[in-house]
Chain A
Amino acid sequence: MRLIGGVAVAAACILAGAAFAEVAPQDVKIVDGALEMALTDKAGDPVAGRDTFAGRKKGNCLACHMVTSLLDEEQFHGEVGPPLDGVGDVYSAAELRARIVNPKTDLPDTIMPSFYHLGGNRVAEQFAGKTILTAQEVEDVVAYLLTLKE
């Protein structure tokens, strides 16, 4: 009994914690191409981020971008966007976060989707009111991109 109670309390804390710590898409503020505040208070996990990055039903970033270090593991890298080799040297976490959350803030005509942003035209029902990636998935992808150093 005590054990179950303890687990329940712990679970409630995690749930409450997640609910409290997440920045909602409409509250995101990108300033000068950067989003300083992390979207969650759980540090991004680069390993999970790598899978979100490559997963076709997740970020599917490889649809448009090439990453040399993934060439052996993942087939078919896209050519629509620039290769992301070395982005971890070039950009800060805040800049990468902004780029993923809503690249249209700086590049209004870009083809790159806004991964943590609501709205859109004729959005399919199953995706309506949802962001492409969750707040934690964005943090994980940022953590992964920061590992891409030349």
Chain B
Amino acid sequence: MKRLTTIIAAIAMLSGATYAVAELADNYTSYKPTDKANPLDEVISGYEFRIKSTQETQDDDFENPAMLTLDVGLEEWETAAGSEGKSCADCHGDDPMESMKGVGSTYPKFTEEGDHRAFRNIENQINFCRTERMGADALKYDKPEMLGLTIAVRHADRGEPMNVAVDGDAAPFFEQGKDMYYTRYGQLGLSCAHCHEENYGNYIRADHLSQGQTNGFPLYRMKWQGVGSTHRRFSGCMKNIRAVPFSKGEDEFLALELYTSWRGNGLPVETPAVRN
């Protein structure tokens, strides 16, 4: 665990820093990446970079504001919608915490055979079920019902390791996501890697940079005063570097979601996490 701090200190020395670099807590948890190709030696959840009070809010389900959104999702789960008069529960059973085990940690991925086969994240899969199987309208990204259902699916895997597959049909998405991760965007001309690969552990003004992992999403964020999706976070990071973000739910962000999820393969799902 000391190793990372040593590496960061070494980098800081190389770049000429002579003052004390803020260190990660001694007891932070890291995991070995499950794939040797991962450029990170250790994978660390965003949780470890947050202050104690934020961590405690996440640790206590009664304090975690995102749990209210989970409740919205559980209610939506049982609510019939659309021309078929069906609810999620009619096909998947009453308790998503049972039927959705092993699901949330493996998205995004290809789902469905035949004409409907496509690369989807959880949100897109929920909308696919709604429009194709229930005859209902698609839910809007980052609205409470969509966030609630997405949290429900992911929460069923809380504590399980992230485990997305990047081979086979997913390979082109993986390659696209990787390209994007290392591409400079916006007027500030920064890539995801500049902040989340080369500088995690460092402060960028008041923000303690993490590895930009996705294992906690959807999550409650104090700055948002609410819950948000992975794609909302991507969008925010792109706006901060003065770039035009890609569209939520579209291929570019799906590719980036796959690639970032793969960088965190092995990290336990925390959904719904709490961040500042």
Contact = CB atoms under 8 A, between A and B. Distances in A.
Interface in B1-30: 12, 15-19, 21-22
B185 interface: yes
A100 interface: no
Interface in A110-130: 111, 113-114, 120-125, 127-128, 130
Nearest to A76: B206
A124 to B, nearest CB: 5
Contacts of B12: 79
B205 A78 contact: yes
B32 interface: no
A130 B209 CA distance: 28
Interface stretch (A1-9, A23-31, A62-70): A62-70
For the residues of B in contact with A, the DSSP-based class is loop
Given A63-B205, A120-B186, A127-B242, A83 B199 contact: no
A82 B17 contact: yes
Interface string A81-99: 1110000000000000000
Per CB-CB distance, the 10 closest pairs between chain A and chain B, nearest first, are: A82-B16, A76-B206, A127-B187, A79-B202, A111-B194, A63-B205, A122-B244, A113-B188, A122-B243, A76-B205
A124 B187 contact: yes
Contacts of B204: 63-64, 78-80
B188 A122 contact: no
Given A80-B204, A120-B187, A111 B21 contact: no
Interface residues of B, number: 31
Contacts of A64: 204
A29 B261 CA distance: 42
Interface in A122-150: 122-125, 127-128, 130, 132
Given A122-B244, A124-B239, A127-B242, A80 B186 contact: no
Given A76-B203, A82-B15, A123-B187, 9 more contacts: A77-B203, A81-B15, A83-B16, A120-B186, A121-B185, A121-B189, A122-B244, A123-B242, A125-B244
Interface in B179-214: 183-190, 194-195, 198-199, 202-206, 209
Interface of B: 12, 15-19, 21-22, 183-190, 194-195, 198-199, 202-206, 209, 238-239, 242-244
Nearest to A64: B204
Contacts of A62: 205
Contacts of B18: 83
B17 A130 contact: no
Contacts of B22: 79
B16 to A, nearest CB: 4
22 contacts: A56-B205, A63-B204, A63-B205, A76-B203, A78-B202, A79-B22, A80-B199, A80-B202, A81-B15, A83-B18, A113-B187, A113-B188, A120-B185, A121-B183, A121-B189, A122-B238, A122-B243, A122-B244, A123-B187, A124-B239, A127-B187, A127-B242
Contacts of B15: 81-82
A130 B187 contact: yes
Nearest to A131: B187
A132 B188 CA distance: 8
A56 B206 CA distance: 12
A122 B188 CA distance: 11
A122 B17 contact: no
B205 A113 contact: no
A83 B243 contact: no
Interface in A34-84: 56, 60, 62-64, 66, 75-83
Contacts of A60: 205
A129 to B, nearest CB: 10
